[in-house]
Structure 1
Amino acid sequence: MFEAEVKFVAGPDFRLPDEPGKAVVCEDVYFDAPDGRLAASGRELRLRREAGRTVLTAKAPPFDAATASKPEHETAVSDAEAVAALLGVLGFQPVLAYAKRCRRARLRVGGLDVELTAVTVDFDPRLFVEIEHLAATREQAMAALPAIRALAAGLGLAEECAVAYTDLAQAAGLGAPPAAP
Structure 2
Amino acid sequence: MIEAELKAHVHAPEFVLRRLEERATGRAEVYQDTYYDNPAGGFTASDQELRVRTVHGPDETRSLLTYKGAKVDDASGSKPEHETRVTDPEATHAVLRGLGYAPVIAFEKRCRNYEFTAHGRPMLATLVQVPEIDGMFLELETLVVEESDLASALDDVRAVLQELGIGESDLTRELYTDAVRTTRARG
Among candidates 27, 35, 43, match of residue 48 of structure 2: 43
Q: Are residue 150 (structure 1) and residue 159 (structure 2) matched? A: yes
User: Post-superposition shift, 1:31?
Assistant: 0.4
User: Post-superposition shift, 1:30?
Assistant: 0.3
Residue in 2 that maps onto 1:110: 119
Runs (4+) off by over 4 Å: none
Residue type at the aligned position of 1:76: R
Q: CA contact under 8 A between 2:27 and 2:114: conserved in structure 1?
A: no
User: Post-superposition shift, 1:113?
Assistant: 1.0
How far apart, in 1, do the equivalents of 2:144 and 2:179 lie? 26
Q: CA contact under 8 A between 1:20 and 1:103: conserved in structure 2?
A: no
Residue in 2 that maps onto 1:166: 177
How far apart, in 2, do the equivalents of 1:138 and 1:25 lie? 31
What secondary structure is seen at the aligned counterpart in 2 of 1:23?
strand
Matches within 5 A, 1:68-79: 68-79=77-88
What secondary structure is seen at the aligned counterpart in 1 of 2:135?
strand
Greater Cα offset, 134-143 or 116-125: 134-143
Decide which structure has greater helix share.
Answer: 2
Residue in 1 that maps onto 2:74: 65
Q: CA contact under 8 A between 2:37 and 2:102: conserved in structure 1?
A: yes
Cα deviations by residue, 1:7-50 (Å, 9 ceiling, x for unpaired): 01112333124343331101000000111110000000000000
Q: CA contact under 8 A between 1:4 and 1:134: conserved in structure 2?
A: yes
Greater Cα offset, 55-64 or 162-171: 162-171
User: Post-superposition shift, 1:118?
Assistant: 0.5
Residue in 1 that maps onto 2:63: 54
Q: TM-score, normalised by structure 1?
A: 0.91
Cα deviations by residue, 1:130-180 (Å, 9 ceiling, x for unpaired): 110011111223320011111111111110011111111111127xxxxxx
Backbone CA RMSD of aligned residues: 1.3
Among candidates 123, 126, 129, match of residue 135 of structure 2: 126
What secondary structure is seen at the aligned counterpart in 1 of 2:27?
coil
Number of corresponding residues: 174
Residue in 2 that maps onto 1:178: none
How far apart, in 2, do the equivalents of 1:140 and 1:84 lie? 34
Residue type at the aligned position of 1:46: R
